[in-house]
Amino acid sequence: MDEKKKLNSAGFCAVLGLLMLLAGVGGYFLLQDRNAAPPATAVTDPGTQPRAPQHAEVPAPPVSSPARVSMPEQKPVKQPEPVVETVVPVSPEKPVPPEESGLVVYPVSGQLVAAFSADELSYSETLEDWRTHDGIDLEAKQGTTVLSASAGTVLSVEDDPLMGTTVRIEHTGGYRTTYANLQSKPPVSAGDEVSAGQIIGAVGNTAVAECSQPPHLHFGVEKDDHWMDPELFLNP
């Protein structure tokens, strides 16, 4: 009986020792697992988390409208009324004899109603604006014959949009003369040779740019392609 108790006691001790051994081994591996586990990430309060630096938005400069420059009001240029030509019978004047062709004569005998103005502006009653005047205007009745101021060759006979029927003559010494506001169909043509005092046309009313003036001849003179005062040519 005592032997049986000893055996039971020994068996119990063996089992208990085995359990303790197993518990020790399990505790050892558990500690190894804990040591090998990565450290827990510290959780930071969202309110205290550092924020990435933010760039302050720079407001765009205000866009200003371009300054408006007030331009002076310009009056429209009055367009001249169309002129209906009145053909008046030619009043004959005594022409200068051909043998005196070297002379310089007045193309018509009449009062000066508009002077030469190449460098300064003069007021145009017809166009109601300021402009240069490249000749002189000699008052004469419609139909008054117009004479060549000097001997020369007719360069052209044309209907100018502003100055009406116009005859141009070339002379020696680099001179050219212009006769405008004539009646249509003058008695000369381009290429004709004319003498001083020869009839080349008659005063008309064909110049729409000067229709507000009394009947007159517009007479111009060029020297070497530059306009000059016709009175200097007529009275050298």
pLDDT in tens, 4-41: 544 455 555 555 556 666 665 555 555 555 555 454 44
Residue 213 Cα distances to 37, 113, 147, 204, 218, angstroms: 118, 8, 21, 12, 11
Q: How far apart are CA 210 and CA 70, in angstroms?
A: 34
Section 79-85 average pLDDT: 60
The structure tokens 């490249």 sit at 134
pLDDT, position 198? 95
Quote the pLDDT of residue 191: 97
Q: What percent of the chain has pLDDT over 90?
A: 45
Residue 75 CB coordination number (10 Å):
8
Integer Cα distance of 114 and 231 in angstroms: 12
| In the predicted structure, residue 88 carries a pLDDT above the cut 60 | yes
pTM exceeds cut of 0.75: no
Region label for 225, one of left (φ > 0), alpha (ψ between -120 and 50) or beta (otherwise): left
By the 8 A CB rule, do 178 and 135 touch? Answer: yes
Give per-residue pLDDT as tens, 89-142: 666 666 665 555 568 999 999 999 999 988 776 766 755 566 778 999 999 999
Q: Which residues touch 39 (CB under 8 Å, ≥6 apart)? A: none
Residue 117: the pLDDT is 87
| pLDDT for the residue numbered 40 | 47
Mean pLDDT of 171-189: 96
Whether pLDDT at 226 is above 50:
yes
Residues making up the chain, counted from first to last: 236
- In sign, the C-alpha dihedral spanning 224, 158, 112, 102 is positive
Q: Check pLDDT > 60 for residue 214.
A: yes
Give 234's pLDDT tier (boundaries 50, 70, 90): very high
Quote the CA–CA distance of 68 and 73 in Å, as a whole number: 14
The predicted pLDDT at position 42 comes to 47
pLDDT for 1 equals 47
What is the rounded end-to-end Cα distance, in angstroms, of the chain? 180
CB 142 within 8 A of CB 88: yes
CA-based nearest residue to 148, from 126, 178, 112: 178
